Structure 1
Amino acid sequence: MPATRPATTIAPVAVVGGGLAGITAALALAEAGCPVTLYEARPRLGGAAHSFQRGGLTVDNGQHVFLRCCTAYRGLLDRLGGTALVSLQNRFDVRVLGGAGRSGRLRRASLPGPLHFVPALAGYRLLGPGDRIQALRGSLALSRLDPADPVLDTMTFGSWLAAHGQGAPVRQALWDLLAVAALNTGVEEVALGPAVKVFKTALLGRPDAADLGIPLVPLGRLHDTAAQEAIARRGGVVRLSAKVTAIEPDAVIVDGVRTKASAVVVATRHEQAATLVPAGAAPGRDAWSALDASPIINVHALYDRPVMRMPFVAVTGSPVQWVFDKTRVAGLGKGQYLAVSVSVADTWIDRPTADIRAAFVPELRSVFPAAREARLTDFFVTRERRATFRQAPGSGALRPHGATRWPGLYLAGAWTDTGWPDTMEGAVRSGLHAARLVRHHVRHQESAS
């Protein structure tokens, strides 16, 4: 009788970091039948998209939105059971408030792309007739560029806009309004490549690509509890408050304990990944720190009565950028809860809350006249000092691929080379890519054993 080959037990895959990239990688591996353990140093999952409790309310640390073209993120929501917990516009539609009571509206038409956005620009009342023509010409020129062209990583979006006749009014009321929110970097600093990716994909591609999606429940329900439950249902393990301090070829060190791993996915922020990944595995890791970081703050203002009628608005010519009604999501029973999302928040990130309040409360009264008669019942600020990497010229060349020189060691995160800017969509795509690499590695291990 031929000898029976002894069964081998493959150690679990270790996923380090419980943000969207790590959640996605762990879930995809568990769905594929790979034993996997997700390690998160904090007592929750979700990374920069999380919630906390304050005075009986559930507060999101920041407002996160997605677009219909974010297919990977929407796929993750579906697998987490969260599709019914978000609202997705039937048609891109944004009300934009300017100074002196002026307002405009950007609403796509029922036309094939990119013609669907032409009526929105042609009727955008925050721009004069000449500026609207500038914007249309700029959009046409932008649509001819390839975001993957490495030359676009060497120049700023602002320099390109200037070279294509986009004056200050168009920049402020259109390009900066959208680029700052999407890229967390202003047009004068952001590289042309990621800007082209955003505008071509969202506004100049499929007509429905830019339709906005907004969570109807706290982020913690979407990205923490739902993620833990989904991973566990598929046989994966989630370990919270578990800090990985070192990585070895076949193990991770977790809270001082060596734990075997058949493969490792490092899904932390780029600064943390640079300290965890051994130099021999990724000789270019020191370059990751040169990606720098760009902050976001969220200003939370609670009033004793409604002051904003729309679910959200964009604002131009003011430190107030985008405002969202969080009343129902947070569980506020009376009055209205507004969250102001402020990207590229270098000016504000280190300012005391009192200074931010002194600046933003009058601005909110200017933007929303009803706030002048309302009583402010609470005011606080949440800060993400390193919300995204700073997507300046040269940053694209610094973004690493998912594989390292060590077989079985992989990278995930919106800062890796996903082909997308640093967004939730990029994070999810990186997690899916890392999971594919791990599955190939594990299959090779199993066939060799």
Structure 2
Amino acid sequence: MSDGMRSEEPLTATPGRQPGRDAVVIGGGLAGITTALALADAGVRVTLLEGRPRLGGLAFSFRRGELTVDNGQHVYLRCCTAYRWFLDRIEGQALAPLQDRLDVPVLDVNRPEGRRLGRLRRDALPVPLHLGRSLATYPHLSLAERAAVGRAALALKGLDLADPALDAQDFGSWLTAHGQSARAVEALWDLVGVATLNAVAGDASLGLAAMVFKTGLLSDPGAADIGWARVPLGELHDRLARKALDSAGVRTEVRTRATSVSTDENGRWSVEVPGETLRADAVVLAVAQREAYDLLPEGALDAPEQLLEIGTAPILNVHVVYDRKVLSRPFFAALGTPVQWVFDRTEASGLRAGQYLALSQSAAQDDIDVPVAALRERYLPELERLLPRARGAQVKDFFVTRERTATFAPAPGVGRLRPGARTKAPGLYLAGAWTATGWPATMESAVRSGVSAADAALSALGRPRHHLFDVEEAAYSARPGDHPRTPGREPEATGASLRGELR
């Protein structure tokens, strides 16, 4: 295991080792970590390369004074069975437990009568009745709007996700055609969709939006129960991931960036890194689409330029440290304000006094380059509108983290641009949330892509694949209490649930 310094040991295959057993995975995000673990678990000798000084990709932590800060708030849902499999594999599931039942506080500060709290929560009833009572009493919509939402949900449930025509349509137009008012889009559809898709309804592919709502809200009563890390993300995606990789025999090299990938006349691959040449039977590019384009050898894809047509979308995170507690809930969503989702990160950050709140602002094209001082002037008054106790509190720290290319843009037509795991070059594979997983750019999509890449590589190498999570199999239930298992491992408790986001 690398400690951040380049090892002096050559990164080449061990002499005398059986052929067809060496792989290089380029990229140490969730897709690359998953690929490396899945390959190593099948007996493949794996070298994992990451250009940054840590693993985790775009879901990581850093230090700021006494705080351990996540670059952005990431959550997952019970239906994210691949990410739950990943957590189990790195022995981190107890550190990122799920709610017993979906419960999202939604605060509207723009009501004539003043601030009003509503909730989106489910009952222990079959779909779609599990959300019936919540929708019937949701105060942010009129009675007519609630009825129209119910009709649209049933129409959405009837869409065929395998229909390629859905990818060419935008979700906003579909909602309008199905009787959804601007208020319904703001208070319900975009409340969920912006957080999961990183785009407003009018900018999102109907295919991806339908996938999110059908899978999360209309497949199983517990599918949308929310889970999030109660520790810094670096504890999961770096420390525990490194431990799992080390135990699996993966050689991890950080601060090591691949500069070229090529194959010889015998079909063996060479990966160039500064001062080294790594040779392997399989190479997986688990990097962003532009970096993958730069590394792809000629002829690996029929239309490699399509990778550059996959747009990106930003996420802005606003971090505020108060001298006292101003929020009593773990998180809430907001309406009638620029603020989208607010999370209490006090305990996870290690803050000893006061309270640390993180605001997750998706589809943040308008704010991503705004100076910190201007963001402070915009967001602090909004927090005071939302949280009366913030009005008398002192702001001890205010800072922002910006991910300008946080996700791929889920625009209409993006589905035809997303490549699968296999390329036309034997032994070369692709992984990343932007590949053709069927999911938007989430942690779930990243893990699924890593499993698909490992599955393709192991098939070509003639190595066992029975240990893999089956991305095509629907046998893993989203019911509370069930979670995917790594073969040969017994499930562990998910930890204490919290009562009362989304990426």
TM-score by length of 2: 0.86
Show the 5 A alignment for 1:184-199: 184-199=198-213
Write the distance in 2 (CA, Å) between the matches of 1:79 and 1:410. Answer: 22
Q: Does 1:45 align with 2:55?
A: yes
Aligned counterpart, 1:3: none
* Offset of residue 91 of structure 1: 0.4
1:226-256 residue CA offsets vs partner (Å, 9 max, x unmatched): 1111011011110000000111121111124
SS at match of 1:244: coil
Read off the aligned partner of 2:295 and give its amino acid letter.
L
Aligned counterpart, 1:36: 46
SS at match of 2:134: helix
Write the distance in 2 (CA, Å) between the matches of 1:208 and 1:225. Answer: 30
Aligned counterpart, 2:326: 307
The question of whether the paired residues in 1 share the 8 Å contact of 2:31 and 2:449 is answered with yes
* Offset of residue 208 of structure 1: 0.3
- In structure 2, relative to structure 1, the CA distance for the partners of 1:33 and 1:285 (3 Å cut) is same
The question of whether the paired residues in 2 share the 8 Å contact of 1:216 and 1:329 is answered with yes
Percent identical: 53
Identify the structure with the greater helix proportion.
1
Read off the aligned partner of 1:131 and give its amino acid letter.
E
Write the distance in 2 (CA, Å) between the matches of 1:403 and 1:114. Answer: 38
Read off the aligned partner of 1:174 and give its amino acid letter.
L
Write the distance in 1 (CA, Å) between the matches of 2:249 and 2:153. Answer: 48
SS at match of 1:383: strand
Aligned counterpart, 1:447: none
Write the distance in 2 (CA, Å) between the matches of 1:206 and 1:133. Answer: 21
SS at match of 1:166: coil
Q: Work out the number of aligned pairs and report it.
A: 439
| Equivalent of residue 415 in structure 2, options 371, 396, 401 | 396
Write the distance in 2 (CA, Å) between the matches of 1:282 and 1:435. Answer: 19
Q: Does 1:26 align with 2:45?
A: no
Aligned counterpart, 1:54: 64
SS at match of 2:317: strand
Q: Does 1:345 align with 2:359?
A: no
Aligned counterpart, 1:183: 197
| Equivalent of residue 441 in structure 1, options 446, 460, 464 | 460
Read off the aligned partner of 2:192 and give its amino acid letter.
L
SS at match of 2:97: strand
| Equivalent of residue 380 in structure 1, options 386, 394, 399 | 399
Write the distance in 2 (CA, Å) between the matches of 1:248 and 1:323. Answer: 46
The question of whether the paired residues in 1 share the 8 Å contact of 2:21 and 2:44 is answered with no
- In structure 2, relative to structure 1, the CA distance for the partners of 1:234 and 1:403 (3 Å cut) is same
SS at match of 1:340: strand
The question of whether the paired residues in 2 share the 8 Å contact of 1:243 and 1:255 is answered with yes
Q: Does 1:286 align with 2:298?
A: no
Aligned counterpart, 2:126: 112
The question of whether the paired residues in 2 share the 8 Å contact of 1:117 and 1:204 is answered with no
Q: Runs of 4+ in structure 1 displaced over 2 angstroms?
A: 6-12
Out of 249-258 and 311-320, give the one that drifted further. Answer: 249-258
Aligned counterpart, 1:270: 289
- In structure 2, relative to structure 1, the CA distance for the partners of 1:165 and 1:7 (3 Å cut) is closer
Unmatched segments (≥5 aa) in structure 2: 1-15, 264-268, 464-503
Write the distance in 2 (CA, Å) between the matches of 1:329 and 1:171. Answer: 33
Show the 5 A alignment for 1:126-137: 126-137=140-151
Unmatched segments (≥5 aa) in structure 1: 1-5, 445-449
TM-score by length of 1: 0.96
Aligned counterpart, 1:172: 186
Write the distance in 1 (CA, Å) between the matches of 2:18 and 2:221. Answer: 52
Higher RCO by CA contacts (8 Å cutoff, separation 6 or greater) = 2
* Offset of residue 317 of structure 1: 2.0
CA RMSD, 1 decimal:
1.1
Q: Does 1:97 align with 2:93?
A: no
1:120-176 residue CA offsets vs partner (Å, 9 max, x unmatched): 111111111111111111111111112221111111100000000000111110001
The question of whether the paired residues in 2 share the 8 Å contact of 1:153 and 1:193 is answered with yes
Write the distance in 1 (CA, Å) between the matches of 2:299 and 2:443. Answer: 30
Write the distance in 2 (CA, Å) between the matches of 1:215 and 1:58. Answer: 13
Out of 138-147 and 424-433, give the one that drifted further. Answer: 138-147
Write the distance in 2 (CA, Å) between the matches of 1:239 and 1:114. Answer: 48
| Equivalent of residue 428 in structure 1, options 439, 444, 447 | 447
